[in-house]
């Protein structure tokens, strides 16, 4: 039996790791376990992958971009102590591991190096699109040159070319597993909420078919996956919807939908609606489901429907990480709305625009201010107007599709990575347990 360990450090990283792990456990003679360095690693559990030890969740959900308040909260919650405990668990596991699959950045990469195991790494956290030339944090570059790191995979083609030159070794771009959840609707992943896919109905209308009909345009809200930030983000989005031009407030003109995580439940939404002058209506047991209403504004609420909602959207209003990247991969234009964090701050949003390119836009102004919300509502109206134009809209969609290929890549990245890993394993071991 060949024993693989998935090592990741964040919600999006866990998601990609779970997809990859699920593809690997389908191979004969392969045993897969996971060690999420932050969070509970729910994507692994839902994919049927054993998670080592007891886990904890922290409000920031990762170890990357976060606000100062978020970093102080992490310290107060004991995240640093918890991380050292996870590293100790990894060290004790090293002799029962044949290959470590690293998903993330310098933190899990350094943790792997200390074990002395063989490994491969998917550098999902780094991209040359941020600054044109990737400046790896110390000692990341040195570790990436180690011979027992058998392969290095990047998150886009530009980074692969850049790092191949910097490191003096081949760096491959095989795609991004997280995109497979929305690209083909196969449901090969597991987690619930934005970033997770349901099986996509084959009757989902294409952009062209929707434009050819009299159907309203669709604006999909992505408030994020972690509470309480996702609830705060949704509150900002509701303020923005009130500021939309009158013609866009009509359901016959614009269909408003929100893709929500299970933790943002009806009880929380009812309290939020009452506080802001909206009403929560409908029932989860009825075909129409739940929605929020304020005068003519109607916001449909969806749980476990992220993939289909995203594919049917014309414009995405986002305060999310991985979900926004999935939208770009599908060629969807994204309007950002920066918040107070701890994750989706102005700094995070600006970095995301550099990463994902001109298909992601943001109105100027300080996060959460009324003038910023007005500017964002006006920008949403302009984007929808351009998309509705037969010639300009079609041209823009073609450009967005090409942008998605460049920044996110084609589907089936999960299978390509799994196949690459299988070529690195002792074939006689796998065959013996077939």
Is the pLDDT reported for residue 303 higher than 80? yes
Q: What is the pLDDT of residue 287?
A: 60
Contact yes or no for 153/144 (Cβ under 8 A) = no
Q: What mean pLDDT value characterizes the chain?
A: 86
Q: Residue 172: enclosing H or E segment and its boundaries?
A: strand 172-173
DSSP sequence for 353-399? HHHH-TTEEE-SS-TT-HHHHHHHHHHHHHHHHHHHSHHHHHHHHHH
Local confidence band at 211 (pLDDT 50, 70, 90 cut-offs): very low
Is the pLDDT reported for residue 65 higher than 70? no
Contact yes or no for 9/38 (Cβ under 8 A) = yes
Is the pLDDT reported for residue 297 higher than 50? yes
Local confidence band at 191 (pLDDT 50, 70, 90 cut-offs): very low
Q: What is the pLDDT of residue 204?
A: 39
Measured between alpha carbons, how far is 287 from 268 in angstroms, rounded to an integer?
21
- CATH says 200-407 is which class? alpha beta
Quick one: 230 exposed, middle or buried, by C-beta within 10 A (0-12, 13-18, 19+)?
Answer: buried
Is the pLDDT reported for residue 68 higher than 70? no
- Residue 228: asked if its preceding bond is cis (omega within 30°), the reply is yes
Per-residue pLDDT tens over the stretch 132-169: 899 999 999 999 999 999 999 999 999 999 999 999 99
Per-residue pLDDT tens over the stretch 350-366: 999 999 999 999 999 99
Per-residue pLDDT tens over the stretch 254-278: 999 999 998 899 999 999 999 999 9
Measured between alpha carbons, how far is 51 from 42 in angstroms, rounded to an integer?
9
Please state whether 36 falls in left (phi above 0), alpha (psi between -120 and 50) or beta.
beta
Measured between alpha carbons, how far is 131 from 128 in angstroms, rounded to an integer?
6
290 token code pair: 């739940």
Half-sphere exposure of 40 (CA within 13 A, CB side): 8
Q: Residue 162: enclosing H or E segment and its boundaries?
A: helix 157-167
- CATH says 2-175+412-432 is which class? alpha beta
Q: What is the pLDDT of residue 427?
A: 60
Is the pLDDT reported for residue 188 higher than 60? no
The mean per-residue pLDDT over the stretch 63-87 comes to 57
Measured between alpha carbons, how far is 25 from 50 in angstroms, rounded to an integer?
11
Per-residue pLDDT tens over the stretch 330-344: 999 999 999 988 889
Residue 39 DSSP symbol: B
Q: Please list, residue by residue across 245-268, b when 16 or more beta carbons sit within 10 angstroms of its beta carbon and e when fewer do.
A: eeebbeeebbbbbbbbbeebeeeb
Local confidence band at 382 (pLDDT 50, 70, 90 cut-offs): very high
40 token code pair: 């509970």
Contacts of residue 235, defined as CB under 8 A and 6 or more positions apart, other chains included, come to 272, 276
Is the pLDDT reported for residue 422 higher than 90? yes
422 token code pair: 């299988």
Is the pLDDT reported for residue 54 higher than 80? no
Q: What is the pLDDT of residue 189?
A: 34
Say which range, 71-75, 281-285, 303-307, has the weakest mean pLDDT. 71-75
Q: What is the pLDDT of residue 192?
A: 33
Measured between alpha carbons, how far is 295 from 277 in angstroms, rounded to an integer?
10
Measured between alpha carbons, how far is 15 from 23 in angstroms, rounded to an integer?
13
Measured between alpha carbons, how far is 282 from 270 in angstroms, rounded to an integer?
11
Measured between alpha carbons, how far is 48 from 25 in angstroms, rounded to an integer?
9
Q: Higher confidence at residue 40 or residue 412?
A: 412
Contact yes or no for 287/248 (Cβ under 8 A) = no
Q: What is the pLDDT of residue 56?
A: 57
Q: What is the pLDDT of residue 58?
A: 60
Q: Is 251 helix (H, G, I), strand (E, B) or coil?
A: coil
Is the pLDDT reported for residue 291 higher than 90? yes
- Residue 342: asked if its preceding bond is cis (omega within 30°), the reply is yes
User: For the chain, where do the domains classified as CATH 3.40.50.2000 start and end?
Assistant: 2-175+412-432, 200-407
Q: Higher confidence at residue 72 or residue 179?
A: 179
DSSP sequence for 57-71? --TT-BSSS--HHHH
């Amino acid at each position: 039996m060949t024993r693989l360990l998935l090592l990741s450090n964040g919600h999006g990283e866990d998601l990609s790791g779970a997809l990859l792990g699920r593809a690997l456990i389908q191979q004969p003679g392969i045993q897969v376990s996971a060690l999420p360095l932050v969070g509970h690693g729910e994507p692994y559990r839902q994919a049927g992958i054993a998670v080592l030890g007891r886990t904890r969740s922290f409000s920031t959900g990762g170890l990357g971009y976060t606000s100062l308040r978020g970093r102080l909260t992490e310290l107060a919650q004991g995240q640093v102590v918890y991380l050292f405990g996870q590293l100790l668990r990894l060290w004790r596991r090293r002799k029962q591991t044949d290959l470590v699959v690293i998903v993330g950045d310098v933190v899990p990469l350094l943790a792997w190096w200390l074990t002395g195991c063989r490994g491969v790494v998917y550098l999902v956290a780094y991209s040359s699109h941020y600054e044109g030339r990737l400046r790896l944090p110390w000692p990341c570059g040195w570790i990436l040159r180690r011979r027992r790191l058998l392969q290095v995979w990047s998150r886009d083609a530009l980074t692969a070319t850049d790092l191949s030159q910097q490191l003096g070794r081949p760096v491959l771009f095989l795609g991004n597993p997280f995109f497979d959840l929305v690209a083909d609707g196969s449901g090969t992943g597991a987690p619930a909420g934005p970033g997770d896919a349901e099986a996509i109905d084959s009757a989902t209308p294409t952009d062209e078919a929707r434009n050819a009909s009299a159907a309203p345009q669709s604006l999909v809200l992505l408030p994020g996956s972690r509470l309480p930030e996702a609830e705060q983000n949704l509150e900002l989005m509701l303020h923005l919807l009130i500021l939309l031009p009158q013609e866009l407030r009509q359901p016959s003109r614009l269909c408003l939908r929100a893709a929500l995580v299970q933790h943002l439940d009806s009880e929380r939404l009812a309290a939020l609606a009452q506080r802001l002058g909206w009403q929560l209506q409908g029932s989860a047991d009825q075909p129409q489901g739940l929605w929020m209403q304020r005068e003519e504004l109607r916001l449909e609420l969806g749980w476990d429907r992220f993939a289909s909602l995203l594919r049917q959207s014309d414009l995405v209003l986002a305060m999310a990480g991985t979900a926004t990247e999935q939208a770009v991969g599908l060629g969807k234009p994204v309007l950002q709305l920066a918040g107070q964090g701890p994750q989706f701050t102005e700094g995070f949003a600006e970095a995301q625009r550099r990463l994902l390119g001109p298909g992601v836009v943001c109105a100027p102004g300080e996060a959460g201010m009324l003038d910023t919300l007005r500017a964002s509502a006006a920008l949403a109206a302009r984007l929808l107007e351009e998309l509705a134009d037969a010639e300009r809209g079609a041209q823009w969609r073609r450009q967005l599709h090409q942008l998605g290929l460049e920044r996110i890549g084609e589907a089936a990245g999960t299978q390509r990575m799994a196949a690459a890993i299988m070529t690195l394993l002792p074939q006689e071991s796998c065959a013996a347990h077939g």
